[in-house]
C-alpha cells in the first residue's frame, strides 16, 4: 500500500494530489476546496481542491495526445492492463472498502461484499470481452470495423462510486479510448485510490485523467468541451438532461444511466415467504440508494395482509447503525441533501394517506446525529401517489395491490422510468411472459444471481445506452464500413 493510500484512508488529502493529469499528480489551479462529509458523524473528514475549466483543458489535451498511441495498442496489451487493474483492486480491497464506508456511509460489510468486488467484476468482464471481441468482421467484400470513439468524459455518482467508475473506465479502456474522469464531489476519495491503482498498474500517461469538481462547473464544462468525443454520465435525471443539452452543441455521443422506480411484480403463485424478504432487502440495499432498487412491490390484493406482515418483520430485523460496525446492515444516507429528500418523501406518503406499515419520520431510536433513516414501508399505495411515481432514493418501499395480471403489468409500466424490474412466480413461462411485457432495461426473475455481462440501462427517462460486458464496450466504439476490403 502506498503512502498516498494511507493518507486518503485517514482522510488527509494532500492538496498537491488533487488532480491526476498526464500520468502525474498535481494541485488544482483554484484555491477553492470541497468538503467531504462523513454521513455517520456529519463531520468534515477531508478537503479536496476543486478543478477549474483550465484544469479540465489540460486533462483533455493530455487525453487527446495519448489517444493515437493507446488506440493503436494490441488488444492483448489492453487486456493485460485490465487484468493488472483487476488484481490490484482485489489486493487493495480493504482500504477501498474502508474509504467507501467512511465517505458515503456504506455498511462496512456491504462495502466489502458488494461495492469493491462488484467493481472489480466490471474490470474482469471488460478483460473477458477482449478475449473474443471481433473488432473487424466481413460482410461479403465489405469490412465492418469497430474503432474507439476517442476521448471520453466520464461523470460518476455518489451512491455506488467505485462500482460506477469501473463500469465506465474499464470498457472505455477495453475499446482503446482515453478518459477524463470526474467523480462525484460528495464521495471522491475512492476515486483517488482507484487512480493510484491505475497508475501502479502501468496505465500510460494521459490515458486516465482525474479532475475533481462540481457538476455545475466541471461536469457542464466536460459536456460542452469540443475536445471530448463522448460523455457517459450516471446521475439524476436533472443532471442527465443538463449534460445532454450542453453536449448537443458539439454533437457528441451521450450515454446516460439515470433514475428509476423499479417494480417487483408478485404473480399469484409467487413464493411469498421467500420472495418478500428478498424483495425488501433488494429495495433497501445500499440504504435504498440504488437507481434500480425494486421499490414498488406489486402484489395480489388477496395476499396483501400476508405480504405486509412478512415485510414488517423483515424490516424490523434490519440493523441500522454505525457503518464501521460489522453487524450493521444499513448505514446512513450518503449526504444531507438526500437525507432531507427522503424525510420529505416519507412525510408526503403519510400525507397522501398511504398505510405506514413500519418506519416513518425521523432517525432510528438512539440516533441523534448522522443521516440515518428508519426503514420505511408503505402499503395500500395507489399509482397516483407521489411515493409511487417519484424516485425517493432511500430505504422506502411501497406495496401496491392489483386484481389481475394485466393490471399488475399496467401498474409496473405506469412510470416515466424504465431501468429495472423484478417478477416473482413459480410458473416460469408466465413469469417470462410478464417480464417481456415490462418496459425496463433489465428484469430479474425470482431473484437470480447478478450477471456482470448482462446489459444494464434504461427505457424512457431512465437513460440511453447500455453498460456492462460487451454492450458496455460497444458504447465506446464507432462503426466504420470499408467497401472493397476483401
* Architecture in CATH of 3-258+462-482: 3-Layer(aba) Sandwich (3.40)
Residue 232 sits at φ, ψ, to 5 deg, of -120, 120
pLDDT digits (tens, 9 = 90+) for 348-381: 999 999 999 999 999 999 999 999 999 999 999 9
List beta partners, residue 21: 24
By C-alpha distance, which of 466, 467, 62, 465 is closest to 244? 465
pLDDT > 60? residue 11 = no
| Whole-number percent of the chain with pLDDT over 70 | 97
Active-site position among 177, 291, 358, 398: 291
CB 260 within 8 Å of CB 242? no
pLDDT > 70? residue 7 = no
C-alpha cell at 417: 422510468
Same fold, 3-258+462-482 and 263-451: no
Active-site position among 103, 185, 217, 257: 257
Question: What is the predicted pLDDT for the residue at 3?
Answer: 39
Residues 6+ apart with CB under 8 A from 406: none
Q: Residue 147: which H helix or E strand, with range?
A: strand 142-148
pLDDT digits (tens, 9 = 90+) for 454-475: 999 999 999 999 999 999 999 9
> In whole numbers, what is the pLDDT of the chain averaged over residues?
96
Please say if 291 is a catalytic residue.
Answer: yes
- Distance of CA 466 to CAs 257, 339, 415, 436, 459, Å? 8, 29, 20, 18, 10
Question: What is the predicted pLDDT for the residue at 30?
Answer: 87
Q: 263-451 in CATH: which number?
A: 3.40.309.10
Question: What is the predicted pLDDT for the residue at 273?
Answer: 98
CB 449 within 8 Å of CB 278? no
pLDDT > 70? residue 484 = yes
Q: Using alpha carbons only, what angle is made at residue 106 by residues 316 and 261, rounded to the nearest 5 degrees?
A: 70
Question: What is the predicted pLDDT for the residue at 8?
Answer: 65
Q: What is the mean pLDDT of residues 277-291?
A: 98
Distance CA 431, CA 434 (A): 5
Model confidence at 15, pLDDT cuts 50, 70, 90, reads low
Q: What is the mean pLDDT of residues 411-433?
A: 98
C-alpha cell at 4: 498516498
pLDDT > 60? residue 86 = yes
pLDDT > 50? residue 100 = yes
Q: What is the mean pLDDT of residues 228-241?
A: 96
By C-alpha distance, which of 477, 479, 285 is closest to 397? 285
Model confidence at 4, pLDDT cuts 50, 70, 90, reads very low
Q: What is the mean pLDDT of residues 379-396?
A: 98
pLDDT digits (tens, 9 = 90+) for 156-213: 999 999 999 999 999 999 999 999 999 999 999 999 999 999 999 999 999 999 999 9
Distance CA 484, CA 206 (A): 36
pLDDT digits (tens, 9 = 90+) for 444-456: 999 999 999 999 9
pLDDT > 90? residue 486 = yes
pLDDT digits (tens, 9 = 90+) for 330-352: 999 999 999 999 999 999 999 99
pLDDT digits (tens, 9 = 90+) for 36-79: 999 999 999 999 999 999 999 999 999 999 999 999 999 999 99
CB 297 within 8 Å of CB 264? yes
Pairing of strands 19-21, 24-26: antiparallel
Distance CA 434, CA 31 (A): 55
Domain ranges of the chain: 3-258+462-482, 263-451
Question: What is the predicted pLDDT for the residue at 437?
Answer: 98
Q: What is the mean pLDDT of residues 318-328?
A: 97
Q: Using alpha carbons only, what angle is made at residue 288 by residues 237 and 456, rounded to the nearest 5 degrees?
A: 55
Amino acid at each position: 500500500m502506498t503512502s498516498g493510500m494511507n493518507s486518503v484512508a485517514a482522510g488527509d488529502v494532500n492538496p498537491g494530489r488533487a488532480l491526476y493529469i498526464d500520468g502525474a499528480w498535481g494541485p488544482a489551479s483554484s484555491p477553492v476546496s470541497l468538503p467531504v462529509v462523513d454521513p455517520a458523524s456529519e463531520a468534515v473528514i477531508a478537503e479536496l481542491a476543486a478543478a477549474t475549466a483550465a484544469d479540465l483543458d489540460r486533462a483533455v489535451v493530455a487525453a487527446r495526445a495519448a489517444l493515437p498511441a493507446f488506440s493503436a495498442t494490441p488488444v492483448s496489451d489492453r487486456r493485460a492492463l485490465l487484468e493488472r487493474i483487476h488484481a490490484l483492486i482485489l489486493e487493495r480491497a480493504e482500504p477501498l472498502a474502508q474509504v467507501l464506508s467512511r465517505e458515503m456511509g456504506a455498511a462496512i460489510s456491504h462495502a466489502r461484499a458488494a461495492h469493491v468486488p462488484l467493481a472489480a467484476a466490471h474490470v474482469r468482464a471488460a478483460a473477458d470481452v477482449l478475449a473474443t471481441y471481433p473488432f473487424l468482421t466481413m460482410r461479403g467484400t465489405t469490412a465492418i470495423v469497430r474503432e474507439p470513439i476517442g476521448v471520453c468524459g466520464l461523470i460518476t455518482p455518489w451512491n455506488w462510486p467505485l462500482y460506477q467508475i469501473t463500469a465506465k473506465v474499464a470498457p472505455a479502456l477495453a475499446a482503446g479510448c482515453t478518459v477524463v474522469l470526474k467523480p462525484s464531489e460528495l464521495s471522491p476519495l475512492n476515486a483517488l485510490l482507484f487512480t493510484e491503482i491505475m497508475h501502479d498498474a502501468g496505465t500510460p500517461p494521459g490515458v486516465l485523467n482525474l479532475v475533481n469538481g462540481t457538476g455545475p462547473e466541471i461536469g457542464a464544462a466536460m459536456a460542452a468541451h469540443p475536445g471530448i468525443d463522448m460523455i457517459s454520465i450516471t446521475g439524476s435525471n436533472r443532471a442527465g438532461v443538463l449534460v445532454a443539452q450542453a453536449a448537443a452543441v458539439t454533437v457528441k455521443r451521450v450515454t446516460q444511466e439515470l433514475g428509476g422506480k423499479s417494480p417487483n411484480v408478485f404473480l399469484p403463485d409467487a413464493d411469498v415467504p421467500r420472495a418478500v424478504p428478498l424483495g425488501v432487502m433488494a429495495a433497501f440495499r445500499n440504504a435504498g440508494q440504488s437507481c434500480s432498487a425494486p421499490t414498488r412491490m406489486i402484489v395480489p390484493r388477496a395476499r396483501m395482509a400476508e405480504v405486509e406482515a412478512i415485510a414488517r418483520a423483515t424490516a424490523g430485523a434490519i440493523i441500522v447503525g454505525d457503518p464501521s460496525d460489522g453487524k450493521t446492515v444499513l448505514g446512513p444516507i450518503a449526504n444531507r441533501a438526500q437525507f432531507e429528500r427522503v424525510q420529505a418523501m416519507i412525510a408526503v406518503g403519510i400525507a397522501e394517506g398511504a398505510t405506514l406499515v413500519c418506519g416513518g419520520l425521523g432517525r432510528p431510536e438512539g440516533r441523534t446525529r448522522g443521516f440515518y433513516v428508519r426503514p420505511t414501508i408503505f402499503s395500500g399505495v395507489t399509482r397516483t401517489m407521489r411515493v409511487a411515481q417519484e424516485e425517493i432514493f432511500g430505504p422506502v418501499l411501497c406495496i401496491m395491490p392489483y386484481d389481475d395480471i394485466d393490471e399488475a403489468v399496467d401498474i409496473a409500466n405506469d412510470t416515466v422510468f424504465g431501468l429495472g424490474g423484478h417478477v416473482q412466480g413459480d410458473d416460469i413461462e408466465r413469469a417470462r411472459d410478464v417480464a417481456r411485457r415490462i418496459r425496463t432495461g433489465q428484469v430479474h426473475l425470482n431473484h437470480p444471481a447478478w450477471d456482470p455481462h448482462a446489459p444494464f440501462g434504461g427505457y424512457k427517462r431512465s437513460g440511453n445506452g447500455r453498460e456492462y460486458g460487451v454492450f458496455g464496450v460497444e458504447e465506446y466504439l464507432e462503426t466504420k464500413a470499408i467497401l472493397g476490403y476483401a
